[in-house]
Amino acid sequence: MPRPSTSDSGAREPAFAFRCIACGTQNETAVQNCRCAACGDLLEIVYPRWKPSPPEARDLKSTWCQRRVSQSALDLSGVWRFRELLPTLDDERQAVTLREGNTPLYELPQCSRVTGVPKLFAKHQGLNPTGSFKDTGMTVAATFGRRAGFRWVACASTGNTSASMAAYAARGGMRSLVLVPEGKISWSKLSQALDYGAVTCQLRTDFDGCLRLLQELVLRAPVYQLNSINPFRLEGQKTLALELLEQLDWQTPDHIIVPGGNLGNSSAIGKALLEMRHLGLISRLPKLSIIQAEGANALVRTLREGAGKRLIPVSAETRATAIRIGNPASWKKAVNVLQATGGSCEQVTEVEMAQAKAEIGAEGIGCEPASAVTLAGLKKLLKQNFVKPDETVVLVLTGNLLKDPDFTIDFHRGELFKGGDAEKANTALSQLRRPPMVLDATLDAVMRTLEQAEKV
């Protein structure tokens, strides 16, 4: 089996290196399972040249700003536009890009009213090319996988990673292998992987089982793994924070709130914030908080019952299938960023999440259920006085509404909750429900409906 190198060669100080998050061992290459050869823990990418000669914050800001009017493929990407803070390419044509990033920062006037937080924003990563934040990481990881000579890429996924990976593999002329838990991901996401030509395996297990199997597979077959264990993914996902701060004119918000599943994204955003402060791009850190579904709350329990020192895995269950993860791979990185930024970690119920999703939808922007935990979590953090109403808060919406239409339709039809507390839940949410109606095709019937709706 070929052993492609993932290092940048030729310079005295390497432009980037892999460092183990546990034992600190640093290497210019990484083995295929993306784990430390010495102790087996996760790796992160570091930039040794920043020590002797850190890039100048003012120059970076003006370079990134100027690129916004450029038409070059690399500058049109909202990820590669920030390439000074990414692993270096020898040749710009190497990048596998779909013009990812460049996502809007929206004000949320109605959610502001609901929460009493006037300065409330949503960074909508669901408006990436395949409909989720995964694209920002995938462009970097797929680029380096192809550069290392791999013909095959692979991932375990709750759906969005597989959709994104399949698209970037296709664009980069690589084959892709998808491992998803059978019956536990949204058909919309599965359809994307199929459309982009992935070899798609629905395994009779959960996400954690798929990821375990993938980790064994990459040691046996020449496939490049594109889960967020791959540190290149997190480098790309860092750019969410860079783009956000640029949109806020480099004024640091008080809080950034993000959903937590496998915990790669929170780790990436935290890494970006720390690097930005180190380079003088910002002078203070926002608090980065992570919200999980109550039924998939491994990090919450790890912090509460394991003091953040040992992972407490759970058997995950939630309708937010994107974050239906019980054994998050990047939990140590996430604990580190929570501590470094002073963020909080909370859990929300299925009802709280469904309500928040409908409230975001009512803003006319919509998101998938996993993203809505951020608004539900904000309400909790306000109650705890961890977030103050006059502070600036950014919610990271990770996926597009169309990623999981079944959830939305079940919600509006009052079919989301079944069994025990269903009636209570449906009553609590009835104000937000807009069930579709079947009517006779008469003017009278439509007029009556309009009059009825006017009264609500």
Residue 108 Cα distances to 111, 112, 116, 118, 310, angstroms = 5, 6, 11, 9, 37
Binding mask 210-229 for ligand F0G (x = CB under 6 A): ------------------x-
As measured in angstroms, the least distance from the Cβ of 161 to ligand F0G is 3
Q: Please list, in sequence order, all residues whose beta carbon lies within 8 angstroms of the beta carbon of residue 240, skipping any fewer than 6 positions away.
A: 101, 103, 123, 125, 133, 136, 265, 268, 269, 272, 396
Q: Using the rule CB under 6 A, is 239 a contact of ligand F0G? A: no
Q: Using the rule CB under 6 A, is 347 a contact of ligand F0G? A: no
Q: Using the rule CB under 6 A, is 193 a contact of ligand F0G? A: no
Q: Using the rule CB under 6 A, is 236 a contact of ligand F0G? A: no
Q: 6 or 262, CB closer to ligand F0G?
A: 262
Q: Please list, in sequence order, all residues whose beta carbon lies within 8 angstroms of the beta carbon of residue 279, skipping any fewer than 6 positions away.
A: 50, 54, 55, 57, 60, 85
Q: Do 354 and 370 meet the contact criterion of CB atoms below 8 Å apart?
A: no
Q: Which of residues 318-337 bind ligand F0G (CB under 6 A)?
A: 322-323
Q: 139 or 161, CB closer to ligand F0G?
A: 161
Binding mask 241-280 for ligand F0G (x = CB under 6 A): ------------------xxxxxxxx--------------
Q: 260 or 326, CB closer to ligand F0G?
A: 260
Distance of CA 93 to the CA centre of its chain: 26
Q: Using the rule CB under 6 A, is 161 a contact of ligand F0G? A: yes
Q: What is the DSSP letter of 155?
A: E
As measured in angstroms, the least distance from the Cβ of 306 to ligand F0G is 18
Q: 139 or 371, CB closer to ligand F0G?
A: 371
| Residue 427 CB neighbours (<10 A) | 10
| Number of residues this chain uses to bind ligand F0G (CB under 6 A) | 22
Angle between helix axes 369-383 and 350-361 (nearest 10 degrees) is: 110
Q: 158 or 176, CB closer to ligand F0G?
A: 158
- State the amino acid at position 432 in one-letter form: L
Q: 136 or 157, CB closer to ligand F0G?
A: 157
Q: Which of residues 362-381 bind ligand F0G (CB under 6 A)?
A: 368, 370-371
Q: 121 has which bridge partners? A: 107, 394
Q: Which of residues 16-75 bind ligand F0G (CB under 6 A)?
A: none
As measured in angstroms, the least distance from the Cβ of 115 to ligand F0G is 20
Q: 162 or 426, CB closer to ligand F0G?
A: 162
Helix%, strand%, coil% for the chain, nearest 5:
45, 15, 40
Q: Which of residues 111-140 bind ligand F0G (CB under 6 A)?
A: 132
- From the list 65-73, 158-166, 170-178, 194-202, the region that binds ligand F0G by CB under 6 A is 158-166
As measured in angstroms, the least distance from the Cβ of 169 to ligand F0G is 15
Q: Please list, in sequence order, all residues whose beta carbon lies within 8 angstroms of the beta carbon of residue 294, skipping any fewer than 6 positions away.
A: 318, 347, 348, 349, 350
- Quote the Cα angle for 96-99-104, to 5°: 145
Q: 14 or 261, CB closer to ligand F0G?
A: 261
Q: Using the rule CB under 6 A, is 181 a contact of ligand F0G? A: no
Angle between helix axes 264-278 and 231-247 (nearest 10 degrees) is: 60
Binding mask 391-410 for ligand F0G (x = CB under 6 A): -------xx-----------
As measured in angstroms, the least distance from the Cβ of 160 to ligand F0G is 3
Binding residue (CB under 6 A) for ligand F0G from 14, 129, 159, 236: 159
The SS3 of residue 293 is: strand
As measured in angstroms, the least distance from the Cβ of 63 to ligand F0G is 28
Q: Enter the tokens of residue 415.
A: 């079919």
Q: 230 or 262, CB closer to ligand F0G?
A: 262
HEC secondary structure over 206-237 = CHHHHHHHHHHHHHHCCEEECCCCCHHHHHHH
For the four alpha carbons of 433, 438, 440 and 442, in that order, the dihedral sign comes to positive
Instruction: Single out the residue of 167, 115, 159, 163 nearest to residue 320, CA to CA.
Output: 159
- What is the C-alpha end-to-end distance of the chain, expressed in Å? 66
Where does this chain bind ligand F0G (CB under 6 A)? 132, 157-161, 228, 259-266, 322-323, 368, 370-371, 398-399
